[in-house]
Structure 1
Amino acid sequence: MREYLLDKKEEIKELEVKERLIEFPILKNFIISVIGPRRAGKTYSIFNLIKTKNLRDEDFLFINFEDEYVKAMERG
């Protein structure tokens, strides 16, 4: 899982994302969860937030629970 998380952070850093109209409130010590219909831009809105706010690696955690690697992980 550690390798997956580190790889995901690198992928996010390298992405070029378009600015989105949606704004997320930044609340220290709170988790942001974005829900909505499929293919509505939720993931890239989060990526945009990470990049525009210049968040450090230790400031965020991103897990795609639909990723085949994550689905295949052993639970327990």
Structure 2
Amino acid sequence: MEDAMESSLWLMVVVGGPILLAVVLIFVTLSNRRHRNPDDLRHTEEATRDLYRRLDKEDEGRDYPQPGGGAKGP
């Protein structure tokens, strides 16, 4: 009797777990798509470009070795 109960529990975990995970992922994906609007996307794009500009300015101030320079190979 105990083996049958344990087997049914594992069956629920093995079959139900992936199904539950799929349902949650579908819900989150649909929820994310529903809440996006053009203003949010524009704001995200502008913030990303601003971040890249700031990182480029920081990189310009650093002394990185130039490509192709340095020690020569055999």
| Bin for the TM-score computed over the shorter chain | under 0.3
TM-score, normalised on structure 1? Answer: 0.23
TM-score, normalised on structure 2? Answer: 0.24
Higher share of residues assigned helix: 2
Higher relative contact order (CA 8 A, sep 6+): 1
